[in-house]
Amino acid sequence: MTERLAVIGDPVGHSLSPQIHMTWIDTMGLKASYESIRVPAGETAAALEDFARKKFRGLNVTLPHKQAVLKSVAEMSDAVKAIGAANTLSRLKDGGWRADNTDAPGLMAALARVGIQSVSGKKVLVLGAGGAARAALYALDKAGADLVVLNRTPDKAGAVIADCCAQQHRFGPLDDLALHAEKADLMINTTSAGHTGYHFELPPGKGRTFFDMSYGAPARAQLEHAREAGWEAADGLPMLVCQAAESFRIWFGGELPDIELALEACRETLKLHG
Ligand code: ATR
């Protein structure tokens, strides 16, 4: 039987997930398919019932369903409970769904790729407090980082820390970026500001790492500026591939699939289509 997998979202046409997973499915010779399926907001529960009926083995979940799916799942990981969002569903034997969040391990694996094996005791400055920040803050807090979260709407940063972190951390407005950046060992941009072409002004990086969770065109101006200011700048594409690898392992078990292979395929696609 061919195992069916899909990413659901709206919009979903731009998603690189089918390419990433099909790279692994093809090279491993698995009998499986991975589609991208548009599911409009408000239709989450009905769609999950339908995918269960059609015996999908697993789903990746993107906007606007990452929180909505939690209402329809039978089981969820502790990470999903703390983050309040899931990106990976797997069908249980009795037909219900289990929810996991692989964005958190995906971020840590992506940081390890740029030489940051541990954030324990390190000062990490996080920009943004939206959906993308939640998994990042959960993972960094759990790994023992000393966090400062800056957001255009500072109160939201405080609320997200309270939701997703076991420790207390400082937060404030983005106006304080330069002040906190001076002392940071690592800076992570989780905001969607780059989608409008905007970039944050950074003080001199002195070889420290600036990690942007976005990739492709929205990350370009920010990464270019970060490099000019002397930061080691890294984009979020490896994080996308690393979170996909964790999802793949949840569905198929065994070792993590080949990150480099899928990353190279994605880089080619972005070169062609931005
Ligand atoms: P996502 O799921 O991509 O994180 P989101 O939940 O809408 O999307 O959150 C977007 C984040 O980017 C928020 O932290 C947002 O700041 P606010 O909470 O103040 O809205 C931030 N953001 C978006 N555009 C921005 C901009 N031009 N300048 C600064 N922050 C911005």
178 lines ligand 1 (CB under 6 A): no
| pLDDT value of residue 25 | 98
Note the pLDDT tens digit of each residue in 141-177: 999 999 999 999 999 999 999 999 999 999 999 999 9
Q: Ligand 1, atom 10: nearest CA belongs to which residue?
A: 130
Rounded to the nearest 5 degrees, what angle is found at the Cα of 34, between the Cα atoms of 33 and 35? 120
Q: How far is the CA of 270 from the centre of ligand 1 (A)?
A: 23
Q: Which among 107, 127, 152, 153 is the best mutation to test ligand 1's pocket, defined by most ligand atoms within 8 Å of the CB?
A: 152
Read off the pLDDT band of 273 (50, 70, 90). Answer: confident
Which atom belonging to ligand 1 lies closest to the Cα atom of 132? Answer: 4
| pLDDT value of residue 177 | 98
Note the pLDDT tens digit of each residue in 176-217: 999 999 999 999 999 999 999 999 999 999 999 999 999 999
Note the pLDDT tens digit of each residue in 119-134: 999 999 999 999 999 9
Which atom belonging to ligand 1 lies closest to the Cα atom of 191? Answer: 12
Task: Decide if pLDDT at 274 tops 80.
Answer: no
Identify the helix (H) or strand (E) that includes residue 227.
helix 217-228
84 lines ligand 1 (CB under 6 A): no
Q: Tokens 């944050």 map to which residue?
A: 200
HSE at residue 96, side-chain half, CA atoms within 13 A, is 10
Domain ranges in the chain are 3-101+238-273, 104-235
φ, ψ of residue 49 to 5 degrees: the values are -60, -45
Q: What is the mean pLDDT of residues 8-22?
A: 97
pTM to 2 decimal places:
0.96
149 lines ligand 1 (CB under 6 A): no
Topology match between the domains 3-101+238-273 and 104-235: yes
Average pLDDT, the chain: 97
Read off the pLDDT band of 1 (50, 70, 90). Answer: confident
Please name the fold of domain 104-235: Rossmann fold (3.40.50)
Task: Decide if pLDDT at 272 tops 90.
Answer: no
Q: Give CATH superfamily name and number for 3-101+238-273.
A: Leucine Dehydrogenase, chain A, domain 1 (3.40.50.10860)
Q: Tokens 């019932």 map to which residue?
A: 49
Q: In the β-sheet with 170-173, what is the strand arrangement from edge to edge?
A: 170-173, 146-151, 123-127, 186-189, 209-212, 232-234
